[in-house]
Amino acid sequence: MFKKKDLLLIIPFLILGVFLLFWTQKSHDAGIAVIEENGNEIARYDLATQTQTEVIDIGGDYHIKLLLEPGKISFQSSDCPDQICVRTGKISSPGQVAVCLPAKVVVRIIGKNSQVDGTTG
């Protein structure tokens, strides 16, 4: 039968195992970066398979450069007046969004198994 000292050894290892399980699952769910301009999807990039750093140029009323890196994406530069999009920083997890409102450019991260819940129109 187990003694109290046995439980004191077993419980920390169980907690560590559960922590490692959730931590490794989250780190492998990089997702897909969806880039939209004026409400239209213009590109998709799988962040999990991205191995090179790449700069994406988006023309329009404002000139925007997106920085695509392994596992993350960010606004590198923009001609917009407020620069909030550039200060947003890097996004990498499903559900995160970066937006340049003057240029009407949205970058969102979706999960690989994301499905549309509904649309409005």
Query: Structure tokens of 9?
Result: 């050894």
Tell me whether residue 115 is in a domain: no
Return d(Cα 6, Cα 74) in angstroms, integer: 49
* Residues 47-82 pLDDT 10s: 989 999 999 999 888 999 999 999 999 999 999 999
Return d(Cα 32, Cα 115) in angstroms, integer: 13
Tell me whether residue 92 is in a domain: yes
Secondary structure of residue 101 in the 3-state scheme:
coil
Provide the number of structural domains found in the chain: 1
pLDDT for 23 equals 65
Tell me whether residue 9 is in a domain: no
Residue 41's domain comprises 32-110
Nearest to 67 by CA among 58, 111, 83, 80: 58
The predicted model gives 84-108 an average pLDDT of 94
- What band does 20 get if pLDDT is binned at 50, 70 and 90? confident
Tell me whether residue 47 is in a domain: yes
Mean confidence (pLDDT) of the chain: 86
CATH number for 93: 2.60.320.10
Tell which wins on pLDDT, 90 or 19.
90
